[in-house]
Chain A
């Protein structure tokens, strides 16, 4: 018979206010195998842990049950506690009587009954817990950063500065991302390019950073410390070694295409760099529009190139590289406006999105930095800004706040007034949200000094009137109907997760929330980690945020990467699957559902009658298995078991609850 000790934690009043601790202790003492039961105000405190350690020695306990918070919180803490007292860490079992009991119940009597049930379950499992042992695994001391926007750039630079090698992956021909498209940045109005481009150059020049542009993640295998990533290096059709970036090809290319970087407000060529400060400043051929690839004529760039760098025969290449850690910094898409017909976007050229406005303000933008109306090329006098387009809109947009629109709209109002003297802006808002250092003051400046009028109200319609636009709304504060005649309308479009975020999440085995933003491991305490060890998040791919927050998160992710890569080795997780050869039928159902490719076929010999015969069965690769348990569910004869969560243990738990 096992000697089980039960320790019930009050968690201050978190548990003790809803669960009768004394009753639970009394019940625990009656459970089979329990020789000791006691309680503590905070079991995770030093005092509490000492109590567990002392009891193990004093009462010769060989299994320990802690009734406390979720194992997500303190499983590791208590594993270390029992290990310090000489027990195998996997002899410890947690009964989650906080998240699964006291926090979700009000009635003390029923909550106590449930707590006792949960403790009984844990006791039943603990009695069947077996010693499990970790092995040491080496770490590949190289990091991958996916996404070359400001988040990825900052993370890559910070990791590289700690001395580890970093590959920075970018799907476009140049790094820079969204920040490169912006004109000025709030609340200081310093120019986005002026603060970003030096960092881009730093990245390109850093000896520890390898830039992999025009490339995407194809496949991710492995686990923390030992990821193997296959990268698709898209055919650039330009030999990066030979190209000097002189730009002659781009000047001579006859095929003009709408520029994504300029938000369609200007044209680029079929051979192009997204913007003049591109890093690397070497072009790529857009095969979807290039005349040679679409019509098999032209080849002008090849003729013009002084170094013979054009290579039409390039094909996508696949690079396979091992990494110890991965930072995901894939940024965001702007919200699609197809459901917002009332704002006349796409129907009238003077209705534009805020990102298009950034390009119109920008000195290297389509208008050379002069703010001109797209319709007639004249400076606008009056501009209406509509906030929350696609944000805070449960009916047809995103229910969440995109967080940056109030501030950039205030910025636009200030810039407009500076660029076009005497101009006025009218901002239609639901609420103005300005939490952040110097943010409220910045917003105040917009209406105090820069002719911005804020009108609380949802715009119902935007329609043309001569060569101007009428914006119809209600002033919610006075209740009056408002109709304003303006020269331009700027829509503060919401921030969406990348449309392919789910795909990447699947490749990385990380999760997303309902809006496809990647999930952090804990919203407060582990904001840059994911649930998959070794994969970290930076920037808007995790949720809407502005540049200062993005940079801070990127640096935080870099520290996490550096602390992981600086370890000598990692301890493997021993709770992995194991095959019972005799029971295995070899139908390989497990292999088909394993998300980690950890199961393969193995041929074994066995005696049948007088003969030795061979047959195929399943085998688990202990290095690849992550212990998810999918295989154990797929296995009909129950031949595959997850160590630490064996069928025996789980049945014992079920029996403890039901019988």
Chain B
């Protein structure tokens, strides 16, 4: 892990020194053991902030939008999941490929802090590091060694693209794809589809009831990249401000449809949700339906193509005039 961080720092410092880029996006360590948010490195002096640890899960791609366009050229570290976001932004014409240098960091999966906390309930965890396929957890001053696989985020267990699909430079060797991920992809959806309509509605009502409309799911999503989101518009008022179930459902349905065919399953929406709403189920249900209607399509793999719902083709199923 340490070597990985070192490699990243070296790449960033070289690039900044040679002025190939004027800023680098990666991850840094924050106050607590489970926090490894996105780092914004604009000077060689700061490259030591960069880390690669079990919690560098945040997708930094979203920051390539306006926030960083004061820089002519930006370097960015991307995991497999993050990398498809680069293609997402290019397809949406929100990113000029020439403006970024993509450093690919193959990833074996990130740790789920909640799972770790649950294992060591009411104990004080100070530090979590990774060594090979083990996590080394500093619990009450003692080092505990556990299998990293047991503590992975759910989204990493079904990850089909652990290696970046787009990169200018691969920082270390590619890793193998976990077995059984293709079967696991729609497992939750298949289960849900078997349930009666009533049961499904009550399930989703229960889930959405917890939503506090913090919009974190939207804010973190690289597919939600409109300059002015419709939910932020005052006129027309698409979304009521009151805490009303109808409006909450309205928000979630529109959000899911806006990313339909564009969502590349990074799972950040679900991971970041403070209310634990299983948003990835909604996204994947739409992916599954679109695959059935318009043929299989993988978002975020090709920067040139158009998502199925954004394409006009004569042979598309019309659903109305065919008898």
Contacts and interface: CB of A to CB of B under 8 A. Distances in A.
A594 B311 CA distance: 9
Interface string A631-659: 00010111100000001100100000000
A584 to B, nearest CB: 7
B236 A647 contact: yes
Counting chain B CB atoms within 10 Å of each CB, the highest count among A512, A594, A639 belongs to A639
A582 interface: yes
A587 interface: yes
B322 interface: yes
A636 B218 CA distance: 13
A506 B312 CA distance: 11
B312 A592 contact: yes
A423 interface: no
Interface stretch (B49-57, B114-122, B223-231, B292-300): B223-231
B19 interface: no
A514 B323 CA distance: 6
Contacts of A587: 92-94, 225-226
B69 to A, nearest CB: 8
B228 A582 contact: yes
Nearest to A636: B258
A190 to B, nearest CB: 39
B202 interface: no
Interface string B288-323: 000000000000000000100111101000000111
Nearest to A580: B228
Contacts of B312: 592-595, 630
Nearest to A584: B227
A651 B240 CA distance: 12
A512 B226 CA distance: 37
Given A585-B92, A651-B238, A592 B311 contact: yes
Contacts of A573: none
Interface string B16-56: 00000000000000000000000000000000000000000
A589 interface: yes
Nearest to A651: B236
A586 interface: yes
Interface string A332-372: 00000000000000000000000000000000000000000
Interface string A572-591: 00000000001111111100
Interface string B225-248: 111111001011110000000000
Nearest to A609: B70
Contacts of A636: 226, 230, 258
B227 A585 contact: yes
B235 to A, nearest CB: 7
A585 B226 contact: yes
Contacts of B94: 585-587
A194 to B, nearest CB: 41
Nearest to A630: B312
A459 to B, nearest CB: 28
A513 B48 CA distance: 68
A117 interface: no
A637 B227 CA distance: 8
A511 interface: yes
A392 interface: no
Contacts of B310: 589, 592-593, 634
5 contacts: A514-B323, A583-B228, A585-B225, A585-B226, A587-B225
Interface of B: 92-94, 225-230, 233, 235-238, 258, 306, 309-312, 314, 321-323
Interface pairs A-B: 5 shortest CB-CB:
A514-B323, A637-B226, A587-B92, A585-B227, A648-B236
